[in-house]
Each structure stands twice: as structure tokens, then as C-alpha cells.
Amino acid sequence: MAGVTDRPFRRLCLQMGAGLVVSEMVTSDVRLWNTRKSRLRLEHSGEPEPRSVQIAGGDPEMMAEAARRNAEMGAQIIDINMGCPAKKVCNKAAGSALMKDEALVKDILTAVVGAVDIPVTLKIRTGWSPDQRNGVTIARIAEDCGIQALAVHGRTRSCMYRGEAEYDTIAEICSALSIPVIANGDITSPEKAKQVLDHTGAQAVMVGRAAQGRPWIFQEIAHYLEHGTYLPSPSLETICNILLDHLQELHSFYGDVMGPRIARKHVGWYLQTTDGATAFRKQFNQLETPAAQIAGIREYFTHLIEGKEFAA
Ligand SMILES: Cc1cc2nc3c(=O)[nH]c(=O)nc-3n(C[C@H](O)[C@H](O)[C@H](O)COP(=O)(O)O)c2cc1C
């Protein structure tokens, strides 16, 4: 997820029970890789395996080159983005816009699979629009081209993020394919993960937004799927420690200026449901240094743990 699944967050999700994590998407236009943002997205040192890197673009040769270069730089899986509805991506005929052009999908997948000797996976939506739900056709093309696993977000491109995800098309895709299918969209709890797996016959589920500020959702889901029982919710002390580790990773990955800025949105996610968070966040967002952020979080959680109001 662009702006979310950076290296610190991927590491944390893996530690918290995710089976596989994928990098933020990287443009296939290698001429744009020299920006600080792209360099950080392409940085994998010390990253746990397997390292899956997502590429986005609409030109088969450029996508193939991007895949080759990422494999050289340490990617162990190449994931192709045909799921992103953002205008910035779609206007250039990339992301989910590609699903409109089945011949081009085939060309891109063939070029990328042929360019690298590591597995290539694909992320799609269920179609271009509710009346052009061609997810099954695209899925068949993907399997024929040698794609090794397919993630499907249960919305069409025109649905953006509106409405509820639907899982019937994912179920159809699962029956049509023999490669593993990963079901995605609105999975926010262990029960929902189980329902979606049962309904679709998918081999795995993928969790996006529900992991923001709640990376322990992966162990909650894994535990429920394995044992049919719930893990107790993490205590405030545990959440505080997870968040402090996360902040420290963000500070060291992005540095003392950018790190605290990027940390703010994550802190907002962690504190979505905690008491007195609105007042605290206002104050937290003024803090500019790593040390001040760490001290601020410690103080806020100490108040919470002692059951005291946070006074801004
Ligand atoms: C902020 C944001 C950024 C995203 N970036 C990407 C991306 O780079 N590549 C991708 O395949 N999907 C991306 N997605 C889509 C998610 O991977 C996922 O398909 C979608 O959010 C539905 O799953 P969820 O309901 O579990 O969040 C993004 C979603 C959000 C909210």
C-alpha cells in the first residue's frame, strides 16, 4: 500500500504474524527511481524474506525492465499492480485501468514473467466496472501467462473504495484457477477472514487498511483460523511497546526530519479508538523530533494505563 507498507511497517506486520508482505508500489519508469521516495521504496537491506516488490506501469518492456532491476536489487517476488484505481496511476494506463485492455494485460504479464526467474504474482480488482466484471477472464490470462499467485480485491475499478467488497467474483475466480488466490477487501476481523475463506475457497486472505495502527490483526486472524478461539486483545502496555518500536524504526529509516512527519499518520491510526486521543494528537502533531515523539507517546500511555485523562 502506497504511503503505508514501507520497510518499517512490513517488518512489523511480519513480526505480528503476517505470512507475506508486499512493498509499496514502485513505478516501472526506472528514470524516476532516483528520487528519495523511490530510493526508500527500493531499499531492502536487512529486510526479512521473502521480499515481494510491487511494480506499476502500462508498458510491457518497461515493466519487464523494472522487474529485472528489482530482482537484481534483492526482490524475491515481483508483484504486478493491476488493482490501484488512483487517477495518477490510471491516467497513464496502469493499475486497474489495465483491466480494460485484456490484450495488453497478456503482453505485460508475458513480458514480466519472461524477464525474471523469480515468482511473479498479480493483484487485480474484480473488473473495470460492475457491468464489466472481467476478473475471471483476467485471472485465466494470468494463470496462462505463468503468474504464480493472484490477489483479488473484491471491488471493481469504478467502485474505488465505496460500498462493500463482494466475494462472489472472487469465489468464481478461485474455481476457475489452480494457482493460489488471495482474497482481499474489507477483512477487518478474524471472523470475517474465516467467512471470506469459506465463501471464496481462496488459499489466503490479504488485509490492508485494518492493519493500519493494528498490526497485531495478523496474529489474531492466524490464531483464530488455527484454533477457532480468540487471542486476548493486546494490553495498553503491549500496544505502547509496539508503537514505540514502530516509531523508532520509522525515525531510523526516514531520518530525524522526515521520520517524525511520517510517524504522525501511523500514531493517528494507533490512537483511533483510545481515550482522549483527539487532544493528544493535536499536541503530538506539533512535535518535531524523534525524542519528543517517543517521550510524548510514553507520557500519553502512562496516563491511559493509570486511567487518567490526558490534559492537552
Ligand atoms: C492508502 C492506500 C494505498 C494503497 N496502495 C496500494 C498499492 O500501492 N498497491 C496495491 O496493489 N493496492 C494498494 N491499495 C489497495 C489495498 O491493497 C487493498 O486492495 C484495498 O485497500 C482493499 O483492502 P482492505 O479493505 O483490506 O484495505 C491501497 C489502499 C490504500 C487505502
DSSP state letters, the chain = -TTT--HHHHHHHHHTT-S--BPPPEES-GGGTTSHHHHHHT--TTPPSS-EEEEE-S-HHHHHHHHHHHHHTT-SEEEEEE----HHHHTTT-GGGGGG-HHHHHHHHHHHHHH-SS-EEEEEEEESBTTB--HHHHHHHHHHHT--EEEEEEEEGGGTT-S----HHHHHHHHH-SS-EEEESS--SHHHHHHHHHHH--SEEE--GGGTT-TTHHHHHHHHHHHSSPPPPPPHHHHHHHHHHHHHHHHHHHHHHHHHHHHHHHHHHHTTTSTTHHHHHHHHTT--SHHHHHHHHHHHHHHHHTTPPPP-
- Report which ligand 1 atom has the smallest distance to the Cα of 81: 11
Average pLDDT of span 231-252:
97
Q: Which band of pLDDT confidence, cut at 50, 70 and 90, is reported for residue 157? A: confident
Residue 63 has pLDDT above 70, yes or no: yes
Among 10-24, 86-100, 109-123, whose mean pLDDT is lowest?
Answer: 86-100
Q: Which band of pLDDT confidence, cut at 50, 70 and 90, is reported for residue 310? A: low
Average pLDDT of span 256-285:
94
> What digits encode the pLDDT tens for the residues 115-146?
999 999 999 999 988 888 899 999 999 999 99
- Say whether 84 is catalytic: yes
Average pLDDT of span 36-64:
91
Task: Write the residue with the smallest CA distance to atom 23 of ligand 1.
Answer: 185
Residue 309 has pLDDT above 70, yes or no: no
Average pLDDT of span 231-241:
96
Residue 253: the pLDDT is: 95
Average pLDDT of span 3-23:
97
Residue 311: the pLDDT is: 62
Catalytic residue among 84, 159, 174, 240: 84
Average pLDDT of span 220-249:
97
**pTM across the whole model:** 0.94
Task: Write the residue with the smallest CA distance to atom 6 of ligand 1.
Answer: 1
Task: Write the residue with the smallest CA distance to atom 31 of ligand 1.
Answer: 209
**If you average pLDDT over every residue of the chain, what do you get?**
93
97 contacts 89 by C-beta, under 8 angstroms: yes
Residues near ligand 1 (Cβ within 6 A): 1-4, 24-25, 54, 81, 83-84, 123, 153, 184-187, 207-210
- Report which ligand 1 atom has the smallest distance to the Cα of 123: 11
